[in-house]
Amino acid sequence: MSRVAIYPGSFDPITNGHLSLLRRGLQIFDKIIVAIAINPNKKPLFTLEERLDILKAVLKDYPRVEIDHFQGLLVDYVQKKETNIVLRGLRALSDFEYEFQMALMNRKLSRKVQTVFMMTDYQWFYISSTIIKEAASLGGNIEGLVPEIVYQRLREKFGLPPKQPNNAHKAGAAKEMPAHNPRSKEIWE
């Protein structure tokens, strides 16, 4: 029997933290459905179609990943997909309280639904889609925190100039810090 997990989220936009969790989840599950949750109470930066396009581009080399979207109760979507596993990432203790409440509510609504929590890798603890959007909107350098297509799309959304080549540093300008530990690839893949 195939072990399928639903990885729900707004993915507005997807970050390298999301990708890290997804890669690690694929070590446990046979298939993961990345499901964009449509929340009518939230106003996303990217439309549903844009988020689907971004996810398709970012995840094109992941044959065991399906991309989908849903509206309504997560437990209903989980049952529709004929699985019982929800994959969620935790960055900090503050995430746990909210995620714990959601997992308990999902269990109350459907006793079959199990939530699997995975800790985010240390280099992604501080990032969220919200923080990424805020930094990008103010012209902050988010390169290395999101996939390249997300980096470019955020620059377009906020009317920022296209990415400059790495050797385009002006004299006297500080060099960028590396986005992550060079050993991190071996840690999160």
To the query of whether residue 18 is one of the catalytic residues in this protein, the response is: yes
Q: Is 184 a catalytic residue?
A: no
Instruction: Report the alpha-carbon distance of residue 183 to residue 174 in Å, rounded.
Output: 24
20 is a catalytic site residue = no
Active-site choice (24, 81, 91, 133): 91
Of 47, 63, 60, 62, nearest to 13 (Cα)?
47
CA–CA separation, 163 and 165 (whole Å)? 7
Q: Which of 42, 175, 183, 185 is catalytic?
A: 42
Out of 20, 81, 88, 129, pick the active-site residue.
Answer: 129
Structure tokens at 78: 């989980």
Work out whether the CA dihedral 7, 67, 22, 181 comes out positive or negative: negative
Interacting residues of 161 by C-beta distance below 8 A, sequence separation 6+: 155
Respond yes or no: is residue 110 known to be catalytic: no
Compute CA distances 84 → 8, 53, 89, 98, whole Å.
13, 27, 17, 20
Q: Tell me which residues are annotated as active site.
A: 18, 42, 91, 129
